[in-house]
Amino acid sequence: MFFILFLFIIAVVAALTCIRIVPQAQAVVIERLGKYCATWDAGVHFMVPIIDRVAKKVNLKEQVADFPPQPVITKDNVTMRIDSVVFFVITEPRLYAYGVENPVAAIENLTATTLRNIIGSMDLDTTLTSRETINTEMRSQLDVATDPWGIKVNRVELKNILPPDAIREAMEKQMKAEREKREVITLAQGKKESAILTAQGNKEAAILNAEAEKQTTILHAEAEKEKRIQEAQGQAEAIRQMKEAEAEGIRMLKNAGADDAVLRLRSLETFAKVADGQSTKILIPSDLQDMSGLLLSLKETAKD
């Protein structure tokens, strides 16, 4: 009875050891009798004891390989150090298990050689300003090279580009000179724009003053013109009224039946008013002489 129980326990333990649970985002490469048998994905699997064995456990998550700085030489013979980061994912666990002995080391060496080839075709200035181009070219070449290993390179990034100290000092001096140059240019442009704005302001002020003076002159001229028109109209109205009065007087004389003697008498009265002025010489028309005789006759008649 004890022996049977012992056999049952051994059978249960053996059955439990045959069960394999593969976690999510992992894969297991199985060998049977030393030869590749299958690739287990996430889930529960059963393995034959003694015959089957786990050859390799593979992580299917995206992985990051941060490599130390690599010395490279540019086209213009400048030595610099560049460190890069490679993002990759394992797509074929079988190729990854049997393709290369140490995949990460292989990727590191491949990255270094690819980086040297790319940088060797560029000069220093192009290298410093073409990170995106270098990243794209490296990703393309690494992806093709790692495909037989079951690895897909998703992205490559250059972390740092470290030129020699002498180059860095020269670049800093150049940048300082460029900043000073931009400062001088900015100040000169500011002064120029200030002078232009001041000149434009003075010009606009002069134009406004001239327009104001012109407008004032026009208003004065119009006022003077209006004044003269009013005066002329006043004089014309006075003359018109005087003429109307004279015409009214003549009309009234005619209506009263005045003869030539009366009219001459009115003329004599008018001449008398003229004589009251400051004139020293008076010209008497000939018809007034006849008028004087008429007055004498009237005077004598009045005495009789």
Measured CA to CA, the distance from residue 26 to residue 57 in angstroms comes to 7
Strands 19-22 and 70-73: unpaired
Q: What are 79-102's pLDDT values in tens digits?
A: 888 889 999 999 999 999 998 888
Class for the domain spanning 63-163: alpha beta
Instruction: Map out the domains of the chain as residue ranges.
Output: 18-58, 63-163, 187-250
Q: What are 22-60's pLDDT values in tens digits?
A: 899 899 999 988 899 999 998 888 888 888 888 899 999
Measured CA to CA, the distance from residue 234 to residue 247 in angstroms comes to 20
Measured CA to CA, the distance from residue 113 to residue 67 in angstroms comes to 13
**In this structure, what token pair is assigned to residue 272?**
């008398």
Measured CA to CA, the distance from residue 91 to residue 65 in angstroms comes to 16
Measured CA to CA, the distance from residue 54 to residue 29 in angstroms comes to 6
Q: What is the pLDDT of residue 87?
A: 95
- In 3D, which of 44, 38, 47, 141 has the Cα closest to residue 94? 38
Paired residues of 36 in beta bridges: 31
Residues 6+ apart with CB under 8 A from 291: 264, 265, 267, 268
Measured CA to CA, the distance from residue 106 to residue 96 in angstroms comes to 12
**In this structure, what token pair is assigned to residue 59?**
């992580």
Number of other CB atoms surrounding residue 15 within 10 Å: 11
Q: What is the pLDDT of residue 303?
A: 46
3-state DSSP of the chain: CHHHHHHHHHHHHHHHHHEEEECCCEEEEEEECCEEEEEECCEEEECCCCCEEEEEEEECCCEEEECCCEEEECCCCCEEEEEEEEEEEECCHHHHHHHCCCHHHHHHHHHHHHHHHHHCCCCHHHHHHCHHHHHHHHHHHHHHHHHHHCEEEEEEEEEEEECCHHHHHHHHHHHHHHHHHHHHHHHHHHHHHHHHHHHHHHHHHHHHHHHHHHHHHHHHHHHHHHHHHHHHHHHHHHHHHHHHHHHHHHHHHHHCCCCHHHHHHHHHHHHHHHHCCCCCCCCCCHHHHHHHHHHHHHHHHHHC
State the 10-residue block means of pLDDT for the chain, 304 residues long.
Answer: 70 73 90 90 86 90 90 88 92 91 90 91 86 91 92 91 80 82 88 89 88 86 84 82 75 63 56 52 51 47 46
Instruction: Give the pTM.
Output: 0.55
- Diameter of the chain measured on Cα atoms: 206
- In 3D, which of 181, 161, 186 has the Cα closest to residue 69? 161
Q: What is the pLDDT of residue 299?
A: 45
- In 3D, which of 18, 23, 59 has the Cα closest to residue 42? 23
- In 3D, which of 67, 71, 68, 66 has the Cα closest to residue 164? 71
